[in-house]
Amino acid sequence: MERSLSFDVVRGYAGGPLISARAEWPLDRDPVTVLFGPSGSGKTTVLRALAGLDRPDAGFITFDGQTWFEARRRVFVRPQARGVGLLFQDHALYPHLSVAANLAFGLGAQTHAARQARVTELARWLGLTALLDRRPGGLSGGERQRVALARALAPRPRLLLLDEPLSALDGPARAVVRGELRHLLESAGVPAVVVTHDRTEALALGDRLAVIVGGAIRQVGPVDEVFSSPVDVEVARAVGTENVFRARVVRRDAGLVTLRAGEAELVAVDPGGTFEAAHACVRAEDVVVEPPERHDSSARNQLAGTVVARIEEGPLVRLTIACGVSLVALVTRASAERMRLVPGQAVCAVVKAPSINVVARD
Amino acid sequence: MDTAAIILSAELASLTTAILLVVGLPIAYWLVRSRWRLKFLVEAVVALPLVLPPTVLGFYLLVGLGPHSPAGRAYQAVVGEPFPFSFGGLLLASVLYSLPFAVQPFTAALAGVDRRLVEAAHTLGVSRASTFLWVTLPLAWPGVLAGAVLTFAHTLGEFGVVLMVGGNIPGRTRTLSVAIFDHVEALEYGAAHRTAGLLLAVSFLVLALVYALQRRPFLRWNDR
């Protein structure tokens, strides 16, 4: 049987919403699952229940065949016994202890030599060696983040939980840490659950996306798939961007980057960095639909294709166009009528380079 | 100067402080953590000595633990001497009377420790007891120290309860504050001045020390 995490977390708050979040996903493939949803949707409730910090009112939590919580049989495994590493939003480092003592905090059961060795190993891996004698109070946001990650990983947890890991950082630091965090999560070799309400964070960090809206998990799937084809309108509203493609860099040239996504090549503004893999995101309203014959335009991306689906949405029409990728476009009903945009119709989908949001993946 | 009274007062205050550290910290921890609906009742009981005249506490202790009550006989069986007019009785009364002076600062200090630091320790596999010892207590210690010093100073200056429960037996229950009362009654103003001056100076120094310690930035990890 495949190793998996499955849970049904039920919790009511006085005067608040009822959380009833049920999901299951495998642990062996795709290490990073992003629990994504607007604030107040119940993400943190689920995360705290997984960590064992709160006891749900009902439901169950099973990790890799082991029951962590089951309301009916009154099973509740203490957080100490779960082997979970938790990264808090504000890092929750111990201000009265040095960085080295912070890292060693969860290693109390081991010998002094073993503790020392593990701290040295983690410090080397995360570039913290020069900081070991410092107190957390004097560290930068990015450094604190790495210390917190090292501390959580030190006791070799079986599951890593991250609560809004980048929210404590500001602008430029956030972009840098986002990139390195994905890399670290991949190389840590521990399945991780990342809670966030930030779309960019979800795209940059996640392999799998679990969308939670109104206390319920509505969709679980590969990140690009959930973004591109949400199961219902509420998930669509939560994720926001209609078109998300897995892409690889083909070349970089004069501030622009050419990406291959599916069978299509897209030119976008290079966000900088040396990434090879990325997510390319395009909002449906930024896709212009034109007749298929060649024409002149300033737009860099002109993708020939065919309309494959058409959904009426009030004054607008949502088209799905097969043009090497499956691209969703939003046009007015009047335009759709004038151009006879029905399934089978050949068209040219036009996207300006600045309309493509490129989120690095490594 | 009344050396026996000084020693007795110092002894009483130190023991009261030690006992309240052992008893008061768990009570404070419970008050911070508990979500029991009737918790406010416990809070009210702990705070009672702040508003009660010491004579009321002394009176009920004498009635409740006097040699004629079952509790008093049980006390005598365990401790070996009757409750009234004994040092043991004085100590018990002081502990009860100083309870809020210890528990309230302890509670504020423990509540001031970021909950997530404690939760982080739990997820790192550290037991509740070890977490309390290595996270909560080190971070709360300025407040714990303040509570301990307040308890010490308050017990030094205690008068009503001492007189009610302990009486005035030199070397056994005659504390500094009682000695001052005796001196004034006997119109020995010189002796009263020396003892009262000593108490004033010690109390002031102790409080000044607490406030000075709390100003020191290295004690305030949480601010950084």
Rounded to a whole number of angstroms, the distance from the CA of B130 to the nearest CA of chain A is: 10
The pLDDT score that the predictor gives to residue B216 is: 59
pLDDT of B72 > 60? The answer is: yes
Q: How far is CA B98 from CA A123, B53, B168, B198, B211, in A?
A: 48, 13, 20, 21, 20
The helix/strand/coil state of A15 is: coil
| Whether the model pTM is above 0.90 | no
Answer yes or no: do A115 and A190 share one domain. Answer: yes
Answer yes or no: do A120 and A50 share one domain. Answer: yes
DSSP string for residues in A19-56 = EEEEEEEESSSS-EEEEE--TTSSHHHHHHHHHTSS--
State the average pLDDT for chain A: 89
- Please tell me the class of the B3-223 domain: mainly alpha
Q: How much is the average pLDDT of B21-37?
A: 92
pLDDT tens per residue across span B157-210: 888 888 888 877 777 888 888 888 888 888 889 989 988 998 899 888 888 887
With CB atoms and an 8 Å threshold, state whether B124 touches A95.
Answer: no
State the average pLDDT for chain B: 87
Q: How far is Cα B95 from Cα B7, in angstroms, rounded to an integer? A: 18
Answer yes or no: do A203 and A289 share one domain. Answer: no
Answer yes or no: do A172 and A211 share one domain. Answer: yes
The pLDDT score that the predictor gives to residue A294 is: 67
The pLDDT score that the predictor gives to residue A1 is: 62
Q: How much is the average pLDDT of A38-44?
A: 88
A109 in contact with B at a CB cutoff of 8 Å?
yes
Residue A338 belongs to domain with CATH number:
2.40.50.100
Is the distance from CB of A288 to CB of A350 less than 8 angstroms?
yes
- Among the candidates A242, A257, A289, a domain finishes at A242
Domain spans of chain B, in order of start: 3-223
Q: How far is CA A195 from CA A86, A202, A218, B39, in A?
A: 11, 9, 15, 34
User: Tokens 């290079």 label which residue?
Assistant: A270
Number of CB atoms found within 10 A of residue A265's CB: 15
Give percent of chain B above pLDDT 90: 38
Phi and psi at residue A281, to the nearest 5°? -120, 135
Burial of residue A257 (CB within 10 Å: 0-12, 13-18, 19+) is buried
Q: Measured between beta carbons, which residues in chain A are less than 8 angstroms from residue B127?
A: 80
Phi and psi at residue A112, to the nearest 5°? -60, -45
Structural domain of residue A309, as residue ranges? 245-360
Q: How far is Cα A218 from Cα A212, in angstroms, rounded to an integer? A: 6
The pLDDT score that the predictor gives to residue B4 is: 82
For residue A6, the one-letter residue type is S
For the beta sheet containing A66-70, the strands, ordered from the edge strand earlier in sequence to the opposite edge, are A18-26, A4-12, A58-63, A66-70, A75-76
Give percent of chain A above pLDDT 70: 99
Phi and psi at residue B110, to the nearest 5°? -70, -40
Mean pLDDT is highest, among A55-59, B33-37, B201-205, for: A55-59
Answer yes or no: do A67 and A13 share one domain. Answer: yes
Q: How far is Cα A357 from Cα A199, in angstroms, rounded to an integer? A: 11
With CB atoms and an 8 Å threshold, state whether B123 touches A84.
Answer: yes
Return the sign of the alpha-carbon dihedral for residues B119, B221, A138, A140. positive
B1 confidence band (pLDDT: 50, 70, 90): low
Answer yes or no: do A229 and A259 share one domain. Answer: no
Answer yes or no: do A152 and A287 share one domain. Answer: no
Answer yes or no: do A251 and A148 share one domain. Answer: no
The pLDDT score that the predictor gives to residue A154 is: 93
A123 confidence band (pLDDT: 50, 70, 90): very high
- Among the candidates A195, A226, A242, a domain finishes at A242
The pLDDT score that the predictor gives to residue A166 is: 86
B96 confidence band (pLDDT: 50, 70, 90): very high
A161 confidence band (pLDDT: 50, 70, 90): very high
Q: Measured between beta carbons, which residues in chain B are less than 8 angstroms from residue A51?
A: 119, 123
Q: Return the axis-axis angle of helices B189-215 and B176-185, rounded to nearest 10°.
A: 150
Tell me the Ramachandran region of residue A59: left when phi exceeds 0, alpha when psi lies from -120 to 50, beta otherwise.
Answer: left
With CB atoms and an 8 Å threshold, state whether A137 touches B117.
Answer: no
Q: How many domains does chain A have?
A: 2
Cβ under 8 Å to B: A residues 122-181: 135, 137, 151-152, 154-155
Q: How much is the average pLDDT of B125-129?
A: 92
Answer yes or no: do A204 and A345 share one domain. Answer: no
Number of CB atoms found within 10 A of residue B2's CB: 21
pLDDT of B66 > 90? The answer is: no
The pLDDT score that the predictor gives to residue B223 is: 41
Is the distance from CB of A35 to CB of A194 less than 8 angstroms?
yes
With CB atoms and an 8 Å threshold, state whether A105 touches B126.
Answer: yes
Answer yes or no: do A205 and A256 share one domain. Answer: no
Q: How much is the average pLDDT of A226-230?
A: 79
The pLDDT score that the predictor gives to residue B224 is: 39
- Closest chain B CA to residue A154: B124
Q: How much is the average pLDDT of B99-112?
A: 92
Whole-complex ipTM: 0.77
The pLDDT score that the predictor gives to residue B77 is: 84
- Among the candidates A242, A268, A284, a domain finishes at A242
Q: How far is Cα B224 from Cα B140, in angstroms, rounded to an integer? A: 15
With CB atoms and an 8 Å threshold, state whether B125 touches A106.
Answer: yes
A350 confidence band (pLDDT: 50, 70, 90): very high
Distance of CA B135 to the CA centre of its chain: 24
What ranges in chain B are assigned the alpha helix state H? 3-33, 39-51, 54-65, 70-79, 87-111, 115-123, 128-131, 137-156, 160-161, 176-185, 189-215
Q: How much is the average pLDDT of A301-311?
A: 91
pLDDT of A73 > 80? The answer is: yes
Answer yes or no: do A77 and A220 share one domain. Answer: yes
Which of A96, A106, A152 comes nearest B139 by C-beta?
Answer: A96
Answer yes or no: do A206 and A251 share one domain. Answer: no
In chain B, what is the straight-line distance between the N-terminal and C-terminal CA atoms, in Å? 48
